[in-house]
Amino acid sequence: MNQLAHGLLALGVRKGDGVALSVGNRIEHLEIIFATAKIGALAIPLDVKWKALELASVVSAFEPRFIILQEDCAGEFARAKELKDLGFLKPLSLSSDRTYGGLLTGQSSDEPDVDVSEDDPFAVMLTSGTTGFPKGCLTTQRTFVFHCINNAIEKGLGAHDIAISFIADLLSTPGGRLRSESFTLAAR
């Protein structure tokens, strides 16, 4: 995660920059979320099932500076660029070798030296529940931490838990993340 954070810094991502991600429920999704958090960038997770028009509309509404795309989202993104001017966006493709197209090469695994405080923005979560219109909710680093604490206390989640997830949801990560030194992700 630290290597990825340094790789993003080397790419030009700065504190406060939006980083959209069209990355499904896979290990990289969480790596990216935590790496952007470490450098104070704003993660904007998008739905990998979106078609070009949805992708173009949402991306042009939030104007992130970067977008990270998994392999099968590249086609819709190319079509999205025909629909709207997305020239402000720098795309980065996930590579199958899990090195983010060489982004990690030579990067330090030390904590990145970026001053991030609890009131800094953490992510824009596009949420609609099942009954409402989609809306972008801006969450701060503190909001997320307290969300974790709530879950850890209320549900008793911790390092002893084995969670299964099919929606890359930050919601099921909290207990383990907070209460254990290590955190294992696996696709099984």
Partner 1 sequence: MILHERFDAEEVLQTIEREKVTYIGAVPTMCERMLHALEAKNYDTRSLRCLAITGGKVHPSVLEDLKRKITPNIYRTYASTDSRPDGDLEAR
Chain residues binding partner 1 by CB under 8 A are 24-27, 127-132, 154-157, 160-169, 171-173, 175-176, 183-188
**Minimum distance, C-beta of residue 171 to partner 1, in the bound complex (Å):** 6
Q: Which residues pair with 121 in a beta bridge?
A: 140
**Minimum distance, C-beta of residue 98 to partner 1, in the bound complex (Å):** 14
Query: In the complex with partner 1, which residue's Cβ is closer, 48 or 55?
Result: 48
Alpha-carbon gap, residue 170 to 75, rounded angstroms: 27
Query: In the complex with partner 1, which residue's Cβ is closer, 63 or 72?
Result: 72
Contact 2, 109 (CB under 8 A): yes
Alpha-carbon gap, residue 78 to 95, rounded angstroms: 17
Q: For residue 139, give the nearest of 58, 43, 5, 29 by alpha carbon.
A: 43
Query: In the complex with partner 1, which residue's Cβ is closer, 14 or 155?
Result: 155
Contact 92, 69 (CB under 8 A): yes
Query: In the complex with partner 1, which residue's Cβ is closer, 9 or 152?
Result: 152
**Minimum distance, C-beta of residue 101 to partner 1, in the bound complex (Å):** 20
Other Cβ atoms within 10 Å of 15 Cβ, number: 15
**Minimum distance, C-beta of residue 128 to partner 1, in the bound complex (Å):** 7
